[in-house]
Structures are given as C-alpha cells and as structure tokens.
Amino acid sequence: MGQEEMVTPGEVLGKATEVKAGKGTYVAKHNGFVYASLTGLLRSVSPPPESPDQRPTVEVTGHKAHGAVPEPGSVVIARITKVMARMASADIMCVGPKSVREKFTGTIRQQDVRATEIDKVDMHLSFRPGDVVRALVLSLGDARAYFLSTAKNELGVVSAESAAGGTMVPISWTEMQCPLTGQIEQRKVAKNES
C-alpha cells in the first residue's frame, strides 16, 4: 500500500492503458485518461498475481462523511452566482433531496437553458445571481465544474428574489412577479411539479 494522497474531481490519475478505473473514478473516452470523480483519498490496488490483467486499480474513497455528489443524470438544486453572455455559473447545493458537503460548481451554457429557440436565449433574461434553480447534470465539465441543463419544463428557476427583496412568484414559464412592487422580471422558470 503506497502513500495515500488527496485528490479532487477532475484530477488525472493515470492512463486507462496503465491503470483500471475503480470506484470514485472514471475514464474520459476522448483521451483515455482516468480521472477522479470525487474528493478523497487515492488508493491503488494491485491485481492478484494470477490475474491476466496486471493493471492496478485506482479508486478514490471520500474522505468525509459522504455528502451527495452530482453525477450525470442527477437533478440538482443550485444557486446562480454569475451570469455572463453565453453562460451562467452556479453553486450546487443539493443533489436530489440530499445536500452537498463540499463545493461543486455548475455551468449552464446558453444552449442548455431551454429546449426551444436556443439561439434566442438571453442569459440575462433567464437567470439572475441569487436565483435558485433546479437543473439536470449533463456531464462533468472542465475545471471541476459540472455542465447543467434547465432545458425541460420542470427545470429552471424555482426561487428568486426581486430587486425589492420580495420572493418572486412565477406567473408564466418566462416571467416572475414581485409581490411587493408588482414588477415583472424575465426568467427561465421551472414548471411546478404540482
């Protein structure tokens, strides 16, 4: 057993030709490298001597009580931190009903905001910083950010605060209204499940 080292999501652990991806890791198909998918301790497990495949298996075990980890296909609740012309950044707060214990960031790209009229999406009319959104994890992006999508009716802004500090009420799938001032703001609103 070698030295255990701390790794974080997106860290390269080796080439798939030289190591096998165990739990807490994944192989990127485009370049054949094995990456860590969670923060934790990296271990390398040697194969049994009689094994025809003599690559050691790398695995990452979470170093703290397992908070939830976003995975492609999971629905997350995230808070928008920054809105730019082509994308918005968000901090992921919950994966499904479970809260996360470490910092995961997500990126919603312009093409992933909604399913229709993708080229007409105006990011600044879809989200504002501080909005809480329900989004689907598409993939682990780069620089430890997940790519998120709000392109389904039930995905999008679930909670937003207006300029006046009131909690906005959705009035359509593109608009929310401030109950204090009656002002209407544009958003990519999540359709309520009810």
**DSSP structure class, residue 78:** E
pLDDT digits (tens, 9 = 90+) for 138-185: 988 766 689 999 999 999 999 999 888 889 999 999 999 999 999 999
Above 90 in pLDDT, residue 133? yes
Per-residue pLDDT at 14: 92
Domain 75-186: state its class. Answer: mainly beta
Per CATH, the number for 5-62 is 2.40.50.100
Per-residue pLDDT at 12: 92
> In CATH terms, are 5-62 and 75-186 the same topology?
yes
Average pLDDT (13-39) is 89
d(CA 183, CA 168): 9
Q: What is the band of 63 on the pLDDT scale with cuts at 50, 70, 90? A: low
Q: Which two tokens stand for residue 29?
A: 């198909």
Above 60 in pLDDT, residue 26? yes
Domain chopping of the chain, boundaries: 5-62, 75-186
- Burial of residue 70 (number of CB atoms within 10 Å: 0-12, 13-18, 19+): buried
* CA 158 to chain CA mean position, Å: 16
Provide the whole-model pTM: 0.66
Above 60 in pLDDT, residue 45? yes
**What percent of the chain is predicted at pLDDT more than 90?**
58
